Amino acid sequence: MPEVVVVGGGLAGCWAAVTAARAGLQVALVRRGPAATAVSSGALDLVPPGEATDPGGWLGRLAREVPDHPYVAGGVEPPAPGELEAEARRLAAELAGVGLRLRVALLRPAFVAAVTGQTRHAGVVLESIAAGDLHGAGRVAVAGIPGLLRVDSAAIAAAIAERSGDGPAARAVVLDPALPGVDESVAGDLDDATLARAVEASGGAEMLGEAIASALGGEAVDVVLLPAVLGLDDPDGVRARVESVAGVRVAELLSPPPSAPGWRLARAAEAMARRAGVEIVTGSVAGIRRAERRVVAVEAAGGDTLSCEVLVLATGKYLGGGLTGDRRPREPLLGLPLFTGGVAVDTLGPRDLVERTRFGPQPFLAAGVRTDAEGRPVDGFGAPVLDNLLACGALLAAVDTTLRGGGLGVATWTGARAGRAAARLRGVAAA
């Protein structure tokens, strides 16, 4: 019997599970399928992107400006930038163990571009994207691939040149690699995943490298930015293969869904959990059994039950299924109390849940579970709802990631907090 059951297989659940397993606990993780983690862009925002150049300043204001943010929930001091960075390095080491490299530099964030043409800072980001850091890059080429219609390399190059001020000169190049496995009949209607698989296939990276060399025609550039197509499994290995033929540094752009970087992160998170000895169970949790103030088991949709001593809920928000929303957000498994902007959702009418200012945080999207300093969900009086229940990740209140970003930072920090709290509840110490 596992001591700890984690429900949810996004970054928060996987990181909670790894943290508890590394403390020596028996951990099982039940998850229905990929959710928000799998569509994220490739950056793991420990602080919101707009605050990335001064993380200490933002963290210092947090308790005053967003008192129920998960970093300060329960009245704790916010983490120092160095503590956030140390947690990200611990995560990066585990992910590197399953082949996914992150660049962690919270105090000197990379300045990277997205396929939308936006540029932004990222303190923690996949290495395949960080390699395109525009700091200090003099000349940049943005490569488009005919058939990948959503990537307009000319528009991206123009946006980079315009937004970077005295930054790099950027120009567009069009590649036309004949990639293995890309059927001529679909070559005009490609998607990132098909291309990524074709590029990592035998000979694919080399053909992409040749296409880059030929498109540049000997022109010297510091880096070639590509859509996120450097394979689904081993972006750094594929990148090295492309570079060895192209003779120039290549990197990927941040990518909105469908996002190969998000997909890689989700797969690697699950792989790192398996590697740490976590038992992964595929299935949907339909109910949670309790006895007085304790959770005693989770019930799977098929009727199986899994007993546990500690339960970690990492079920995400609307995308993951951790919250359902009709007229009002609801936590479906335990009916946990939900809050938004420090106010109980139950006390708000449907109109109060929508902010009419387009660029204001949306109460509906920021709704979630509030916790004490240990990560235990609390009621309106701040008292834990159950003694052995912990929550982490996007399920928590106060983060409207659509506007402010910062979702994977919350998943990392609160996932670790839940894993450590689970260890304490079992009487062992965690790293």
Ligand X SMILES: Cc1cc2nc3c(=O)[nH]c(=O)nc-3n(C[C@H](O)[C@H](O)[C@H](O)COP(=O)(O)OP(=O)(O)OC[C@H]3O[C@@H](n4cnc5c(N)ncnc54)[C@H](O)[C@@H]3O)c2cc1C
For residue 284, what are its two tokens?
Answer: 């949907």
Per CB under 6 A, which region of 38-46, 167-175, 194-202, 224-232 contacts ligand X? 38-46
| 265 in Cβ contact with 235 (< 8 Å) | no
Applying CB under 6 A, which of residues 4, 5, 6, 7 lies at the interface with ligand X?
7
The DSSP secondary-structure symbol of 253 reads P
Using CB under 6 A as the binding rule, whether residue 36 contacts ligand X is answered as yes
For residue 188, what are its two tokens?
Answer: 């005009």
| 305 in Cβ contact with 281 (< 8 Å) | no
Query: Between 283 and 312, how does the x/- string for binding to ligand X read (CB under 6 A)?
Result: -xx---------------------------
**Least separation in angstroms between CB 105 and ligand X:** 15
Beta carbon nearer to ligand X, 242 or 410: 410
In whole angstroms, how far apart are CA 92 and each of 45, 125, 267, 302, 412?
13, 10, 14, 36, 11
Nearest C-alpha neighbor of 396 from the set 5, 4, 12: 12
143's enclosing H/E stretch is strand 139-144
| 367 in Cβ contact with 397 (< 8 Å) | yes
Q: In what order do the strands lie in the sheet with 338-340?
A: 343-344, 338-340, 368-369
Using CB under 6 A as the binding rule, whether residue 57 contacts ligand X is answered as no
Query: Between 241 and 270, how does the x/- string for binding to ligand X read (CB under 6 A)?
Result: ----------------x-------------
Using CB under 6 A as the binding rule, whether residue 9 contacts ligand X is answered as yes
Using CB under 6 A as the binding rule, whether residue 320 contacts ligand X is answered as yes
Applying CB under 6 A, which of residues 4, 19, 27, 40 lies at the interface with ligand X?
40
**Least separation in angstroms between CB 94 and ligand X:** 15
**Which 3 state secondary structure label does DSSP give 266?**
helix
Using CB under 6 A as the binding rule, whether residue 361 contacts ligand X is answered as no
Using CB under 6 A as the binding rule, whether residue 33 contacts ligand X is answered as yes
Residues in contact with ligand X by the rule CB under 6 A:
7-13, 30-33, 35-37, 39-41, 43-45, 257, 284-285, 314-316, 319-322, 333, 393-394, 401, 405-409, 411
